[in-house]
Structure 1
Amino acid sequence: MIKRHALNISTLLVIAGLLLAGCAGQQKTLPPPPPPDATEEVQMVTVQVAVENLRETPNGAKIGETIGGSELEFMQRRGNWVQVRDMTRGGVWIWAPSVGFAEVNPISVPLWLGVGRPQNVDTLTSIFGAPEQLELVGGDVFRYRYLNKSPNRTGTLFGTQGFQAVEALIDRESREVLRVDFTLSPFEGSAKDLLSAIELPDVRSTKTNFDHALYIKKFNAVSQVEFIFAEGNFNSMVSYSAFRYPATEYQAALTYGEKKIVHETGSLFLSMEVTNNSGKYSFAAPEVFVELVIDDNPLGQWTLGPLDIRIELGERELIYQPLPINADGLDINTIAARAEIINAVTVPAGPVNKP
């Protein structure tokens, strides 16, 4: 079966609360997590240091103290801080390791992609809280964006200078985190040092040049990691990306059928058939590069997308997209076109379509 898709021009911005619950009337939201157990007992935590400060907000103004052995009611965790309730106050904040929680390294790849254990968006919201922005980027893939907003970048929630911002791509169907992109402060040190900081083993890079270091390795639940250098400085990195599934799998898996330009109601459209021949992956939110030429003279170049398309395993798609060009006076018989997918998000494969 061939499915025809038209460009979804508007980007759907979703309020932060959609991470934890659906929204009535929305067509595209993350499915809500299972409801809490109504019989769940109150969780108590015990202060494990001699004396610890109580704060109004995470790393905020001190409003009191508590002593070792005190039992406090757990309310929620945000980063390396825990909100608790004692007998004399409402919700106050305490350093999480002081009440028995492991300290979180926010730039850790295992934290985000779940190396060795299942990981999904609910785990992230339990640590990071609701995102600054949750955005549908096409093909049922959401972008989660969290900013480290403290003025001096010391990391209000984490007590670290490790990062400025993080973005994660989340599969709507499985709720899995598919990819993370960190903007670093930058990180001063070697690639070996950064691998250690993000809690991955020290391995030889697959490719290194003045722009980046690429690791196409199977780090348990991670398929690929990439570091970006600061202006060719191998000891200063400004960002890193980590991928659960192979990032460039689409290049070998997708094959193209007929590509043509269609003149319809005064506009030009790209018509292109694409088939997914991957053995186990589907591809979401593709971006398509298009170039038009008349008599060897360039007419225009565009990147379309990310498109609201998911090319399932074994599926053939008809991508039909308008081009941002005035078609008046153009003879499509004289136009040569080149088009290909230049980016796509690798996701777990859905059901195979039977012919």
Structure 2
Amino acid sequence: MSDTPAPDASPGAAANASRATALEPVHRALGATMTDFAGWLMPLRYGSERAEHQAVRGAAGLFDLSHMGEIAVTGPAADALLDYALAGHLSALRVGRARYTMICEPTGGILDDLIVYRLAEREYLVVANAANAGVVLDALAERQAGFDAAIRDDGAAYALLAVQGPASPAILARLTDADLPSLKYYAGLRGTVAGREAMIARTGYTGEDGFELFCAPEDAEPLWRALTEAGEGDGLVPCGLACRDTLRLEAGMPLYGHELTTGTTPFDAGLGRVVKFGKPGDFVGRDALRAAAERAEREPPRVLTGLVARGRRVPRAGYAVVDEAGRVIGEVTSGAPSPTLGRPIAMAYVDAAHAAPGAAGVGVDIRGTREPYDVVALPFYRRHT
């Protein structure tokens, strides 16, 4: 799931931020460059975003993600409500597990991508992107009629920290007696970390192993300091949202507002697997999504694919993808220099005829100059397990 600002977000807007996380004094003390994002004052970087990126790939990084939205869905029909409101089959989710899913419009367009945790038989936690938290809350409320379930905005009840990278299990193990080795990817458990109550989830948005810790806002600063101390010998560093963007891009993870919009369906984004037509009952957008699935199978529209530069010029969202004759065959949705590959990379929607890995003659129009790019399969980076 996704929620990061563009890498060149303006720090000057930070003064107008409407909300600060519980960790804002810590970020300032660390010299972070702050920016306003979705109404939140957030750290963009602490120093070199490249160094932060490489720390997550090689050791560990510590993130403040408290801007994300948390929505509680509870009651006897909480599972049925979520099956109806979302694209996924949430009633099949076991207690203690999480699922990546989407909430769509009746027309099939994506309102947001989400992670849903089943905390108990009648209790779910829906985690939405900060920019869309209000949209998701409103949509769930609109779809609530006829279900014996309650919806509650729990955003103020949580701070969210993430420790990501190959050293993250060892770092967290020093602070908790929770059974981390048995905690599977996309699973969570309640426990204590440095003596503070938290929900420990094995999830993340970096392409690395790692954990997200949901805690009370008043516990965020003690947890941050404990994690920092525990990870000092492993090379853990504080990380901002800028490196989170390059990490997720290398991992081929979509970003709402770029790869995912109300103008795209899950099938357009190559994520049709999240739509569960076989679940019981109707759900919002079923007919439109069925039609989108059939279109994608019969005559694929533009396909989300990866591009790797042969040169050094960096593509940005909105740049045209062109063929050898300069005809527009697609559009870049996200682009940045890749610290891991050492070359600029991009995700782009490209006409199906030019979207297969190895397709010849594909380029990106960068300010009037056609720059050659290689078409590759996503993701650009996959961690070793």
TM-score clears 0.5:
no
**TM-score, scaled relative to structure 2:** 0.22
By percentage of residues, which structure has more helix?
A: 2
Highest CA radius of gyration, 1 or 2? 1
How high is the TM-score relative to the length of structure 1? 0.23
More strand by share: 1
